[in-house]
Amino acid sequence: MENSRLKKAMKTNGHQSNLAPHDLDALGGRVSARVGRAGYCTVAHAAELKILQRLSLEALEEFAREHGLIVVKRMAGEKFEFTRRWGTNL
């Protein structure tokens, strides 16, 4: 994961998010695996939502891009849906 770009994107309102990079890496791996099996993944689990809700929109898009995904929906912060980027094999 390209931590420097994601760290910059994680800064919201001048404050650095206190997320550990391994939390994002682990979540990215789980989401990528689910998308690889089903073609999409809806994240609704409380622990996973807590991680994603702390990201700015820019950081969320960067997180998805780094894992070969795109964010399809951000439903009021209660659910996030991911799908594969065109031309990526998971």
37-41 contacts, C-beta under 8 A, 24 or more apart: 39/83, 39/84, 40/72, 40/81, 40/82, 40/83, 41/81, 41/82, 41/83
- Break the chain into its structural domains and give their ranges: 3-84
Residue tagged 């439903």 (tokens) = 75
Q: Over the stretch 63-77, which tens digit does the pLDDT of each residue have?
A: 999 989 998 777 776
Judge if pTM exceeds 0.85. Answer: no
Q: Over the stretch 33-44, which tens digit does the pLDDT of each residue have?
A: 999 999 999 998
Q: What pLDDT sits at residue 69?
A: 93
